[in-house]
Chain A
């Protein structure tokens, strides 16, 4: 009985000690964000979906060779001995957002955008044509500038 009450008192005491820590934080401003309405701004080098400046691309195929998951595919055509892009496909399903393509590109043509809320209902939407200007219209609202 004595042991029981002793344990009881010790238990209550350590509960109070623990509660002191929690109460301390009760009166400090909350650190959580209410997510869909509040969003954290992305850092400058944030790696979201892959984007492209087609006019800068020199069709060197470095990004395709570097991509570890083989999600980029390019075809080109020759116009008076100058390579121009024909298609630039990006299979977002495979992308692991590693940023190696952006790093290796000699012309800064391929970039990582800040779009990160990228769930879709239709799987076909994951196959993205990077040459299309309106490709990310659906998702741009997820980005904080």
Chain B
């Protein structure tokens, strides 16, 4: 080299792969990050590591046989997935279920919402450095819910509890007592989380003003659930398009102000309180009666199509079913909330530091099971 030639200093962007085996991507999500030093310039999520062809499988299963598969979509909130699916099928069949079954479904779905938000809270706190303690507190509370579910349906994770025309089993007096006990037990625990996590200055410093999702962007990307409400949009299907008996129950829709990671987290904490309120009222007014209406063993809906959406803990879960008059659906499309929620991630992380991507991703509470399906 010519000694007189001055060597130019230059920097270049470099690429790192975060995931698919990474503890804070909440499953097998791979993020391709383009970094300029510590700053993220671009982010491309790669999905598909957990793909199981659920929609294709549905075409070869009868309507009842597909219920256990919906458990595996969003495995943290299996009951809500069961619910969304069976209600879509009931709409296709024009089936009206009994009043008691409706209340039971509400109670169970809200319990599962709490369980799901507990996991979201715990893992989010863990991602931000509150190692293990909050996570295990959340799991301790979740254990109570899981135990209740274990007693009513016999499994601890993939419940397969909702049935077309009702539910698998009635709630016995003993279980109702247990749920009441749980409500009493859970109320002070949510306050504990406020003390331990929500207003902790380190937590605030790490999550305030990070990953701000504006109202317009949230709507444009069809973000739903607590993430949308964190941005200040008051949209909840339980209120705006009530199904089951949600219109008879009183509850508030918590919304955030700035749309940052902390707001999304806070909405989840508040939703737990609201869910407890819903369960309490539903138990108060639980009517007597049958829990299942008799449907034939072979379900043959007429050739028609239907779409039904419910409010999952993660957002709007929709099932689009086309029947062709046979025992199998001709086509089943699942609109999963996490998929749309993840789509907005690259927009939010541009320009922030690489350590904060964990915070943004954690606050979105995406679950790969339902993104890949």
Q: Which residues of A contact B (CB under 8 A)?
A: 7, 10-11, 14-15, 17-18, 20-22, 25, 31, 42-47, 66-68, 96-100, 103-104, 112
Contacts and interface: CB of A to CB of B under 8 A. Distances in A.
A22 B140 CA distance: 13
A44 B68 CA distance: 20
Interface of B: 61, 64-69, 133, 137, 140, 143, 147, 150-155, 158, 160, 168-169, 192, 195-197, 199-202, 297
B195 A45 contact: no
Nearest to B150: A43
A46 B150 contact: yes
Contacts of B153: 45, 99
A100 B66 CA distance: 11
Given A14-B200, A20-B195, A46-B150, A97 B155 contact: yes
18 contacts: A11-B201, A15-B200, A18-B196, A18-B197, A20-B195, A22-B133, A31-B140, A42-B150, A43-B147, A43-B151, A44-B151, A45-B152, A45-B154, A45-B169, A68-B65, A96-B68, A98-B67, A99-B160
A47 B69 contact: no
Contacts of B154: 43, 45-47, 99, 112
A20 B150 CA distance: 33
Given A21-B196, A22-B133, A68-B68, A11 B202 contact: yes
Given A14-B199, A18-B195, A31-B143, 17 more contacts: A11-B202, A17-B200, A21-B196, A25-B137, A42-B150, A43-B147, A43-B150, A45-B154, A46-B154, A47-B154, A68-B69, A97-B155, A99-B153, A99-B155, A100-B64, A100-B160, A112-B154
Contacts of B68: 68, 96, 98, 100
Contacts of A45: 151-154, 169
Contacts of A7: 201
Contacts of B168: 103
A21 B137 CA distance: 11
A14 B201 contact: yes
Given A18-B200, A46-B150, A47-B154, A98 B195 contact: no
B155 A21 contact: no
Shortest beta-carbon contacts, A-B, top 3: A98-B68, A45-B154, A68-B65
B244 to A, nearest CB: 23
Contacts of B195: 17-18, 20-21
Contacts of B199: 14, 17
Contacts of A100: 64-65, 68, 160
A21 to B, nearest CB: 5
